[in-house]
Amino acid sequence: MGVRLLTRILLLVQAVAALLIAWCLARWGGAAAWLALLGGVGAVAVVRLLINMNNFLLAACFASATPGAFRLGPMACLRLLAEEFRASMLTTSWRMPRAHAGMRIHADGGRVPVLLLHGYGCNSGYWARLIPLLDAARISHARVDLEPVAGDIDGYAAAVERAVDALCAATGAPRVAIVAHSMGGLVARAWMRSHGSARLARLVTLGTPHHGTALARFGLGINARQMRRSGRQEGNGWLQTLAAGETPEQRALITSIYSHHDNIVSPQTSSVLPGAHNLAFGGVGHVALGSNPRVLAALMRELAALDTLRA
Protein backbone atom coordinates (compact mmCIF):
# COMPACT_ATOMS: atom_id res chain seq x y z
CA MET A 1 0.00 0.00 0.00
CA GLY A 2 1.42 3.38 -1.04
CA VAL A 3 1.51 6.46 1.17
CA ARG A 4 -1.03 8.28 -1.01
CA LEU A 5 -3.66 5.57 -0.40
CA LEU A 6 -2.66 5.19 3.24
CA THR A 7 -3.10 8.90 3.97
CA ARG A 8 -6.48 8.87 2.23
CA ILE A 9 -7.60 6.00 4.45
CA LEU A 10 -6.37 7.84 7.55
CA LEU A 11 -8.26 10.96 6.42
CA LEU A 12 -11.41 8.89 6.03
CA VAL A 13 -10.97 7.44 9.52
CA GLN A 14 -10.54 10.94 10.95
CA ALA A 15 -13.61 12.18 9.08
CA VAL A 16 -15.70 9.31 10.42
CA ALA A 17 -14.43 10.01 13.94
CA ALA A 18 -15.32 13.69 13.62
CA LEU A 19 -18.82 12.84 12.39
CA LEU A 20 -19.38 10.37 15.24
CA ILE A 21 -18.31 12.96 17.80
CA ALA A 22 -20.57 15.53 16.14
CA TRP A 23 -23.48 13.09 16.21
CA CYS A 24 -22.94 12.43 19.91
CA LEU A 25 -22.77 16.16 20.67
CA ALA A 26 -26.01 16.79 18.77
CA ARG A 27 -27.83 13.71 20.05
CA TRP A 28 -26.91 13.80 23.73
CA GLY A 29 -25.47 17.27 24.15
CA GLY A 30 -28.23 19.15 22.39
CA ALA A 31 -25.73 21.12 20.30
CA ALA A 32 -26.79 22.76 17.07
CA ALA A 33 -25.67 20.89 13.95
CA TRP A 34 -23.01 23.42 12.98
CA LEU A 35 -21.66 23.59 16.52
CA ALA A 36 -21.62 19.81 16.85
CA LEU A 37 -19.72 19.50 13.55
CA LEU A 38 -17.25 22.15 14.67
CA GLY A 39 -16.76 20.24 17.93
CA GLY A 40 -16.12 16.98 16.05
CA VAL A 41 -13.54 18.52 13.76
CA GLY A 42 -11.97 20.35 16.69
CA ALA A 43 -11.66 17.13 18.70
CA VAL A 44 -9.79 15.41 15.85
CA ALA A 45 -7.51 18.44 15.47
CA VAL A 46 -6.75 18.40 19.20
CA VAL A 47 -5.75 14.73 19.00
CA ARG A 48 -3.44 15.54 16.10
CA LEU A 49 -1.95 18.41 18.11
CA LEU A 50 -1.37 16.12 21.11
CA ILE A 51 0.45 13.63 18.88
CA ASN A 52 2.64 16.46 17.60
CA MET A 53 3.37 17.65 21.13
CA ASN A 54 4.19 14.10 22.19
CA ASN A 55 6.85 13.93 19.47
CA PHE A 56 8.52 16.98 20.98
CA LEU A 57 8.37 15.41 24.46
CA LEU A 58 9.88 12.14 23.23
CA ALA A 59 12.61 14.00 21.34
CA ALA A 60 13.44 15.97 24.50
CA CYS A 61 14.22 12.72 26.32
CA PHE A 62 17.16 12.04 23.99
CA ALA A 63 17.99 15.59 22.88
CA SER A 64 21.51 16.88 22.42
CA ALA A 65 22.51 20.05 24.24
CA THR A 66 21.15 23.18 22.56
CA PRO A 67 23.82 25.84 22.00
CA GLY A 68 23.10 29.14 23.71
CA ALA A 69 22.60 30.98 20.45
CA PHE A 70 19.74 28.62 19.55
CA ARG A 71 17.85 28.51 22.85
CA LEU A 72 14.22 29.59 22.67
CA GLY A 73 11.98 31.60 24.95
CA PRO A 74 8.33 30.67 25.67
CA MET A 75 6.86 32.55 22.70
CA ALA A 76 9.45 31.12 20.31
CA CYS A 77 8.58 27.63 21.58
CA LEU A 78 4.92 28.27 20.81
CA ARG A 79 5.82 29.46 17.31
CA LEU A 80 7.92 26.32 16.84
CA LEU A 81 4.99 24.09 17.83
CA ALA A 82 2.49 26.07 15.74
CA GLU A 83 4.67 25.94 12.61
CA GLU A 84 5.36 22.22 12.98
CA PHE A 85 1.68 21.43 13.62
CA ARG A 86 0.64 23.47 10.59
CA ALA A 87 3.28 21.84 8.39
CA SER A 88 2.31 18.34 9.58
CA MET A 89 -1.41 18.93 9.03
CA LEU A 90 -0.94 20.40 5.55
CA THR A 91 1.55 17.72 4.49
CA THR A 92 -0.34 14.64 5.72
CA SER A 93 -3.92 15.85 5.23
CA TRP A 94 -3.67 17.80 1.98
CA ARG A 95 -0.42 17.42 0.06
CA MET A 96 0.46 13.73 0.44
CA PRO A 97 -3.04 12.34 -0.33
CA ARG A 98 -2.96 14.23 -3.67
CA ALA A 99 0.70 13.79 -4.63
CA HIS A 100 2.07 12.10 -7.72
CA ALA A 101 5.70 11.51 -8.60
CA GLY A 102 6.82 13.29 -11.74
CA MET A 103 9.29 15.47 -13.59
CA ARG A 104 9.32 19.07 -14.78
CA ILE A 105 11.88 20.20 -17.33
CA HIS A 106 12.84 23.83 -17.95
CA ALA A 107 14.56 23.74 -21.32
CA ASP A 108 15.82 27.30 -20.95
CA GLY A 109 16.96 26.92 -17.34
CA GLY A 110 20.62 25.97 -17.80
CA ARG A 111 20.86 24.91 -14.15
CA VAL A 112 21.89 21.64 -12.56
CA PRO A 113 18.66 19.60 -12.30
CA VAL A 114 17.41 18.48 -8.90
CA LEU A 115 16.10 15.13 -7.72
CA LEU A 116 13.83 15.29 -4.65
CA LEU A 117 13.76 12.41 -2.15
CA HIS A 118 11.23 12.40 0.66
CA GLY A 119 11.55 10.85 4.11
CA TYR A 120 10.07 8.00 6.10
CA GLY A 121 6.30 7.63 5.84
CA CYS A 122 6.02 10.44 3.29
CA ASN A 123 5.78 10.78 -0.47
CA SER A 124 6.56 13.40 -3.10
CA GLY A 125 3.85 15.68 -1.71
CA TYR A 126 6.34 16.75 0.94
CA TRP A 127 8.00 19.09 -1.58
CA ALA A 128 4.96 21.26 -2.33
CA ARG A 129 6.61 24.41 -0.94
CA LEU A 130 9.99 23.88 -2.61
CA ILE A 131 8.76 23.09 -6.13
CA PRO A 132 7.48 26.63 -6.86
CA LEU A 133 10.90 28.01 -5.87
CA LEU A 134 12.63 25.59 -8.24
CA ASP A 135 10.24 26.56 -11.02
CA ALA A 136 10.81 30.26 -10.39
CA ALA A 137 14.57 29.67 -10.68
CA ARG A 138 14.05 27.62 -13.89
CA ILE A 139 15.57 24.54 -12.27
CA SER A 140 14.43 21.24 -13.79
CA HIS A 141 13.43 18.72 -11.16
CA ALA A 142 12.05 15.24 -10.58
CA ARG A 143 10.41 13.69 -7.54
CA VAL A 144 10.01 10.02 -6.74
CA ASP A 145 7.89 8.04 -4.30
CA LEU A 146 10.07 5.61 -2.35
CA GLU A 147 8.15 2.35 -2.01
CA PRO A 148 7.49 0.01 -0.31
CA VAL A 149 6.86 2.34 2.62
CA ALA A 150 8.58 0.08 5.16
CA GLY A 151 11.24 -1.28 2.82
CA ASP A 152 15.00 -1.64 3.00
CA ILE A 153 16.82 1.67 2.48
CA ASP A 154 19.35 -0.05 0.22
CA GLY A 155 16.44 -1.29 -1.87
CA TYR A 156 15.47 2.26 -2.80
CA ALA A 157 18.82 2.86 -4.53
CA ALA A 158 17.59 1.30 -7.80
CA ALA A 159 14.67 3.78 -7.96
CA VAL A 160 17.07 6.66 -7.37
CA GLU A 161 19.36 5.42 -10.15
CA ARG A 162 16.43 5.22 -12.57
CA ALA A 163 15.37 8.74 -11.63
CA VAL A 164 18.91 10.06 -12.12
CA ASP A 165 19.08 8.36 -15.54
CA ALA A 166 15.76 9.89 -16.58
CA LEU A 167 16.61 13.37 -15.31
CA CYS A 168 20.00 13.40 -17.03
CA ALA A 169 18.48 12.12 -20.26
CA ALA A 170 15.69 14.69 -20.22
CA THR A 171 17.96 17.65 -19.49
CA GLY A 172 21.22 16.62 -21.12
CA ALA A 173 22.95 17.28 -17.80
CA PRO A 174 25.95 15.17 -16.81
CA ARG A 175 25.18 15.58 -13.09
CA VAL A 176 22.24 16.18 -10.79
CA ALA A 177 21.79 17.64 -7.34
CA ILE A 178 19.79 15.65 -4.82
CA VAL A 179 17.69 17.32 -2.12
CA ALA A 180 16.55 14.82 0.48
CA HIS A 181 14.52 15.05 3.66
CA SER A 182 15.09 12.80 6.68
CA MET A 183 15.42 9.15 5.59
CA GLY A 184 15.80 10.38 2.01
CA GLY A 185 19.30 11.57 2.86
CA LEU A 186 20.26 8.04 3.88
CA VAL A 187 18.68 6.73 0.68
CA ALA A 188 20.87 9.12 -1.31
CA ARG A 189 23.98 7.98 0.55
CA ALA A 190 23.01 4.33 -0.03
CA TRP A 191 22.66 5.15 -3.74
CA MET A 192 26.14 6.70 -3.71
CA ARG A 193 27.51 3.51 -2.17
CA SER A 194 25.86 1.35 -4.86
CA HIS A 195 26.32 3.56 -7.92
CA GLY A 196 29.08 6.02 -7.07
CA SER A 197 29.02 9.81 -7.01
CA ALA A 198 30.27 10.67 -10.51
CA ARG A 199 26.85 12.05 -11.48
CA LEU A 200 26.25 13.90 -8.22
CA ALA A 201 26.84 17.66 -8.14
CA ARG A 202 25.55 18.12 -4.59
CA LEU A 203 23.54 16.29 -1.95
CA VAL A 204 21.59 18.54 0.40
CA THR A 205 19.95 16.73 3.31
CA LEU A 206 17.27 18.23 5.56
CA GLY A 207 16.93 16.74 9.02
CA THR A 208 18.59 13.45 8.10
CA PRO A 209 19.51 11.18 11.03
CA HIS A 210 22.99 10.42 9.72
CA HIS A 211 23.88 8.73 13.02
CA GLY A 212 20.39 7.45 13.79
CA THR A 213 17.52 8.70 15.92
CA ALA A 214 16.19 7.29 19.18
CA LEU A 215 12.63 7.84 17.97
CA ALA A 216 13.08 5.28 15.17
CA ARG A 217 12.40 2.60 17.80
CA PHE A 218 8.74 3.56 17.50
CA GLY A 219 8.71 3.11 13.71
CA LEU A 220 7.78 0.04 11.71
CA GLY A 221 9.71 -1.65 8.94
CA ILE A 222 13.24 -2.45 7.88
CA ASN A 223 14.01 1.21 7.18
CA ALA A 224 12.99 2.23 10.71
CA ARG A 225 15.36 -0.38 12.17
CA GLN A 226 18.16 0.94 9.95
CA MET A 227 17.66 4.41 11.47
CA ARG A 228 17.57 3.31 15.11
CA ARG A 229 19.90 4.61 17.74
CA SER A 230 20.18 3.44 21.34
CA GLY A 231 20.43 6.49 23.61
CA ARG A 232 23.77 8.20 23.06
CA GLN A 233 25.21 5.30 21.06
CA GLU A 234 26.41 6.31 17.60
CA GLY A 235 23.93 4.86 15.14
CA ASN A 236 23.84 1.12 14.46
CA GLY A 237 25.65 -1.45 12.36
CA TRP A 238 23.95 -0.45 9.12
CA LEU A 239 24.67 3.25 9.60
CA GLN A 240 28.25 2.58 10.62
CA THR A 241 28.84 0.42 7.54
CA LEU A 242 27.33 3.13 5.36
CA ALA A 243 29.66 5.73 6.84
CA ALA A 244 32.72 3.50 6.58
CA GLY A 245 32.26 3.14 2.83
CA GLU A 246 32.35 6.88 2.08
CA THR A 247 35.41 8.77 0.91
CA PRO A 248 36.35 12.31 1.98
CA GLU A 249 35.54 13.44 -1.56
CA GLN A 250 32.00 12.07 -1.28
CA ARG A 251 31.47 13.67 2.12
CA ALA A 252 32.56 17.01 0.66
CA LEU A 253 29.63 16.79 -1.77
CA ILE A 254 27.10 16.78 1.10
CA THR A 255 25.42 19.71 2.83
CA SER A 256 23.52 18.71 5.96
CA ILE A 257 20.86 21.23 7.04
CA TYR A 258 19.40 20.47 10.45
CA SER A 259 17.54 22.02 13.37
CA HIS A 260 18.51 22.02 17.03
CA HIS A 261 14.78 21.67 17.73
CA ASP A 262 14.03 18.72 15.46
CA ASN A 263 11.22 16.68 17.03
CA ILE A 264 11.98 13.43 15.18
CA VAL A 265 15.78 13.34 14.90
CA SER A 266 17.06 13.08 18.45
CA PRO A 267 19.73 13.71 19.48
CA GLN A 268 19.57 16.55 17.00
CA THR A 269 23.32 16.56 16.41
CA SER A 270 22.85 13.16 14.75
CA SER A 271 22.42 15.24 11.60
CA VAL A 272 25.97 16.59 11.87
CA LEU A 273 28.06 14.68 9.34
CA PRO A 274 31.87 14.92 9.60
CA GLY A 275 33.47 16.08 6.38
CA ALA A 276 30.21 17.59 5.10
CA HIS A 277 29.07 21.21 5.12
CA ASN A 278 26.74 21.37 8.15
CA LEU A 279 24.21 24.21 8.48
CA ALA A 280 22.40 24.55 11.83
CA PHE A 281 19.04 26.22 12.41
CA GLY A 282 16.92 26.79 15.48
CA GLY A 283 13.20 26.99 16.08
CA VAL A 284 12.25 24.64 13.22
CA GLY A 285 10.58 21.25 13.55
CA HIS A 286 11.21 18.14 11.48
CA VAL A 287 8.36 18.39 8.96
CA ALA A 288 8.60 22.20 8.81
CA LEU A 289 12.16 21.94 7.44
CA GLY A 290 10.58 21.53 4.00
CA SER A 291 8.53 24.72 4.21
CA ASN A 292 10.31 27.10 6.59
CA PRO A 293 11.33 30.24 4.64
CA ARG A 294 14.77 30.49 6.28
CA VAL A 295 15.59 26.87 5.52
CA LEU A 296 14.32 27.08 1.94
CA ALA A 297 16.36 30.23 1.35
CA ALA A 298 19.51 28.44 2.54
CA LEU A 299 18.67 25.46 0.36
CA MET A 300 18.21 27.63 -2.73
CA ARG A 301 21.56 29.32 -2.03
CA GLU A 302 23.21 25.89 -2.02
CA LEU A 303 21.65 25.09 -5.40
CA ALA A 304 22.51 28.52 -6.83
CA ALA A 305 26.17 27.91 -5.99
CA LEU A 306 26.36 24.92 -8.34
CA ASP A 307 27.87 25.18 -11.81
CA THR A 308 25.38 25.74 -14.63
CA LEU A 309 25.00 23.16 -17.35
CA ARG A 310 26.79 25.46 -19.80
CA ALA A 311 29.76 26.04 -17.47
Q: Where do the structural domains in the chain lie, given as residue ranges?
A: 98-304
Q: Is the pLDDT of residue 300 over 90?
A: yes
Q: Give the whole-angstrom CA distance, residue 292 versus residue 52.
A: 17
Give the phi and the psi of residue 258 in degrees, each rounded to 5: -145, 165
Torsion, Cα of 47, 261, 264, 95 (10° steps): 60
Please, what is the average pLDDT of the chain?
A: 94
Taking only the tens place, the pLDDT of each residue in 107-130 is: 877 899 999 999 999 999 999 999
Taking only the tens place, the pLDDT of each residue in 162-189 is: 999 999 999 999 999 999 999 999 999 9
| Residues facing residue 204 across a β-bridge | 179, 255
Task: State the pLDDT confidence band at 233, using cuts at 50, 70 and 90.
Answer: low
> Contact, 155 vs 101, CB < 8 A?
no
Q: For the full predicted model, state whether its pTM sits above 0.85.
A: yes
Q: Give the whole-angstrom CA distance, residue 114 versus residue 134.
A: 9
Average pLDDT over residues 63-91: 97
User: DSSP strand E in the chain: where?
Assistant: 102-104, 114-117, 141-143, 176-181, 200-206, 254-259, 277-281
Q: Give the whole-angstrom CA distance, residue 195 versus residue 245.
A: 12
Taking only the tens place, the pLDDT of each residue in 93-110 is: 999 999 999 999 998 778
Burial class, 196, CB count within 10 angstroms (exposed 0-12 / middle 13-18 / buried 19+): exposed
Task: State the pLDDT confidence band at 310, using cuts at 50, 70 and 90.
Answer: very low
Q: Could you tell me which of 184, 182, 179, 219 has the C-alpha nearest to residue 200? A: 179
Q: Give the whole-angstrom CA distance, residue 54 versus residue 35.
A: 28
Q: What is the CATH number of domain 98-304?
A: 3.40.50.1820
